[in-house]
Each structure stands twice: as C-alpha cells, then as structure tokens.
A and B are shown apart, each in its own frame.
Chain A
Amino acid sequence: MPSNPAKLKVIWLQGITCNGNTHSFLNDPALGTLLETIEFIHHPLLPCQKTLKDLVKKVPKSDVLIFEGAYSAPFERAGVEMRTLLPALAHKAKHIISMGSCASFGGIFKENDPEHISGIVFDKENGSGPLKAMQEKVITLSGCPAHPKWLSFVIDMISAGREILVDEFRRPKELYAYLVHNGCLRNEYFEWKVDSERFGTKEGCLFYAQGCQGPYTHGSCNKILWNDVSSKTRSGTPCVGCTEPAFPKRDLFTTKTYMSIPSEMPLGIPKRSYLALAGAAKSFHIKRLEERLIDDHA
C-alpha cells in the first residue's frame, strides 16, 4: 500500500479582518475531507500546533501561507508589526494565498484609510503591495468572502503539484475567467431586458434596476454555488462585484446610466452593438417573461 502523502503545512494569518473568510471556510461542507490533506501550523480558530506567539518567536517554514484581511504596515499581531511579520512568514512559505478581497486589493477596510491600507500584492488594481516582489508565488482569491471551494481547489492543485493558470491579478482562471453573469439563471431576462423591480423575486434581471454587477465581475458564483445551493443572483439580490479590485463601489445597488443607457457596457461588448440589440429587445413583449413564474394565487 502506498504510504499517505505528507499533509501540506499551512499557516493562516489574519491582517485587519472581519473573519468573514474564516467563517466561509468553516462552513465548507467538505471541510472534513480537506483537513485530511492539510495540517494547520497555525489557525486563529481551529486547533493547531502553534499559537501566534510561537509563530513570532521562531518563524516556521510552511507549504502554504494563507493571508486573510487587509494589510497595514504598523498593524500588530502578537506584538509584531505586519511590515515585519508578513514578509518573514512569506519568505519561508512555498505558496501564498491571498484570501478574500481585503487581502487581495484592500477591500472594505481600505475605505477607512485609503492611503495606508492595501492588499498584500495589489492596492486596488496597482501592484504596489508589500509582497509585490514575490507575487509569483501568490494566488489571489478575491471575494467578500472568498468561496471555500475556491480555496480547496487551490489547495488541491498545490498538493497535486499542478500549475495554476492565473489572470492579471493572479486569480486562478479556472475560477475567475467566467463572469458572475455567466451561469446566472436570469440571463434570459437580461437578454430581453425584463427588469426585476425588487429584491428577492425569482423573476427579472437585476442589472438596470438593482445595480447587479454580474456582467462586469469575474467569479464563478453561479457555477460553484454557495452552500451548494445558491448565489446572490439566484436568491434575488444583485452581485456587488466583490471579486474585483474596484470593490466596494459607491452606490452598490444602482447601475449608473446616462439617459437610461448603462455608463459601462457589459465586459467586451462594443457600445453600438449592445445598444442596437438592447433597443430591439426592449421593444418585444414576451408574456412568459413578464409573468410570475409561480403564481401564489392560482
């Protein structure tokens, strides 16, 4: 019998965070299986070998360093500033995962101190974070929070020694090459320009009236479902574009328009073509799409 391969040694370090990615991770229905392939040297909530204090006393080697939360140089963990702690752990890690939008681009916390808070490699879209020089070993898992299955995908790829193809922000293409719009059950409503007038309904597209960012947002939320069952757009709330460096945008629930025309075209679509199609589609009335899918009073 082949001997069990050695478990990946993982450190989970937190910057400035709300714990959202940790919660997302702990909610992974497949967490048990994942824990058979990895072993936490340190995790803030799970049982593990070392405390934060141990970590700073003698910086250990690791296979994967997962960083959650935004980066700020003077922010301290176990009495050590991030400007010292993060690079020290990063140097001794084979792979680094920036977990969530704050670690990736600055996220929500950056709004509080835009000058000094950033992601570990990217500051919004600029590659000027503290781990810029070692970005080759960083994998970006942006999302607010990042989906636990995106993390297990990357961990599986690392343990299998497979190459992970990444985009310009070092997000795995396998997970982020799609748009959230892709796979959304409301695509037909989008095509025929039937809007949803409020949250939580099954009918209509959330783009014009609710500010859905699906057509601009890279992510597999409608393919790798949340809790295996749903996504924002499936449950009737707009995608807020949390995987993109520009997140959070202002006015989360509106799509900016000029004279009823979206100020930004869905990614990759020329304005004239979009408008010609949208104008034509809008003038159709398709009874099936204008009715409730399930009539409560029937």
Chain B
Amino acid sequence: MARLSKEERKVSIMTKALELFSKEGFYQTTMPAIAEKIGMSVGNLYNYFTSKEMLAKDLILYIANILGEEIRRINESPMSTQEKIEAIVHMYFKIAKDRPETIEYFLRVYLSNREVFQNSCEGMICVSAFVTEMMIFFEEGVRSGDLRDQDFFSAFGLFMGYLGGMVFINGENILPKPLESYEHTIAENIYYALKSR
C-alpha cells in the first residue's frame, strides 16, 4: 500500500477523532484515547495536532467546508428557491444519516462547548464556509422575490434550528418514522415560513 501523505494521514486521524468526539463529547475524549483508536503513539499524534483544542478546531473547519461545498453546489444550480430548500434539507439529512458523526459533532461539540472554541474560532470564523453559503442562498432568495426580506439571523436560525432539532430528536430515537420521510414537509414548512407574502 502506498504511504499516505501527511495531509491524507491528518484526514484519516480526523475521521476517527470525529467518531470519538461525537459519541463521547469533548471532555470525555482524550488524546491518548484518540491515539489508541487510530493505532498510533500519543507522541506521534501530537506531531499532527498540537493540542486537543487544535484538533477540535480543525474538525469544525473540516465539517463547515463539507457543508459549505454542498450548499455552494446547490446555490450554483439552476433550481428555484423552493427546490433549493428541498435540496438543502435533503443534503443535511443525508449527511446526518450517512455520516452522523459530522452533524453530531456540530451540535454536541461545537455548539455545546463554546468555551473550547473561544480562542481560535471566535464568532463564525470556523464555520464561515458554511454560513457564507447560507448567506448567499438567502440573499439570492430575497433578490429574486421568493423570500421575505428580514434580518439574516432570524431566517438562518429558523432554517438551521429546525434541521438541527430534527436530527437531534432523531438521534434520541423519538421520531416514529425515518428522518428522510419528513424531508418534504419540513422543506415545505421552511419555505412557507420564509417566503414573501
């Protein structure tokens, strides 16, 4: 097998660390536990990430980039605003299903342990790739006359809070039906809540 480059190795460490963090939470997960899971020495792990905080920061950047790229693809497609909402809901739930650790990390580590991210991830810096695409989605929606003009965060909170909430209660096994079966009605609700009157 060809040797992995440092970058590839980093990504593979992040993938494993993501699983641990999202399951155990930030404080329960230790660098030795991560090293053990990957099968490398703790010393070597520190060659890639100088601290647990740095690793946590890189993970949120990594996830924000994944989400940002997906939404950018949707933003740049010729769909209507309503279809874009469907596509974003679908994309978000699909990631929650296929790679649940990404969304879990976002909700359970990034949003719940703000103190960890205070120093290197002030405000929206680390999630900028994702928030910027949401800004563009909303801006274009209002510009085209489909969505109502309002403060960005009121709209952003409604959209992302709804999706995050659904993924969260799904994770708690509260939903009677599979998450994807709610996609259409959720997208419709979001559209009706935000559309211009």
Contact = CB atoms under 8 A, between A and B. Distances in A.
A206 to B, nearest CB: 20
25 contacts: A258-B142, A259-B135, A259-B141, A259-B142, A259-B147, A259-B150, A260-B153, A261-B135, A261-B138, A271-B136, A272-B132, A272-B136, A275-B132, A276-B128, A276-B132, A279-B124, A279-B128, A279-B132, A280-B124, A280-B125, A280-B128, A282-B124, A283-B123, A284-B122, A284-B123
Nearest to B123: A283
Interface of A: 257-261, 263, 271-272, 275-276, 279-280, 282-284
A161 to B, nearest CB: 50
B139 interface: yes
B66 to A, nearest CB: 16
B152 A261 contact: yes
A272 to B, nearest CB: 6
B143 interface: yes
A258 B143 contact: yes
A275 B134 CA distance: 10
Interface string B175-190: 0000000000000000
A258 B146 CA distance: 11
Contacts, number: 53
A261 B139 CA distance: 7
B138 A259 contact: yes
B129 interface: yes
B149 A259 contact: yes
B31 interface: no
Across chains A and B, which 7 residue pairs bring their CB atoms closest together, nearest first?
A283-B123, A258-B142, A260-B152, A259-B138, A261-B139, A276-B132, A283-B124
In the complex, which of the residues B123, B132, B152 has the most CB atoms of chain A within 10 Å of its own CB atom? B132
Contact of B129 (A258, A276, A282): A276
Contacts of A284: 122-123
Sort chain B's interface into a size bin: 20 to 34
Contacts of B125: 280, 283
Given A259-B142, A260-B151, A279 B135 contact: yes
A280 B149 contact: no
B131 A279 contact: yes
B155 interface: yes
Contacts of B150: 259
A254 to B, nearest CB: 12
A50 to B, nearest CB: 55
Given A258-B143, A282-B123, A282-B124, 12 more contacts: A257-B149, A258-B140, A259-B139, A259-B141, A259-B142, A271-B136, A275-B136, A276-B128, A279-B131, A283-B123, A283-B124, A283-B125
In the complex, which of the residues A257, A259, A272, A282 has the most CB atoms of chain B within 10 Å of its own CB atom? A259
A263 B140 CA distance: 10
A258 B123 contact: no
Nearest to A258: B142
Contacts of A280: 123-125, 128
A75 B149 CA distance: 45
A282 B136 CA distance: 16
A275 B140 CA distance: 13
Contacts of B123: 280, 282-284
B129 to A, nearest CB: 7
Nearest to B138: A259
In the complex, which of the residues B135, B142, B147, B153 has the most CB atoms of chain A within 10 Å of its own CB atom? B135
A259 B136 contact: no
Nearest to A273: B132
A260 B135 CA distance: 9
Contacts of A257: 149
B129 A259 contact: no
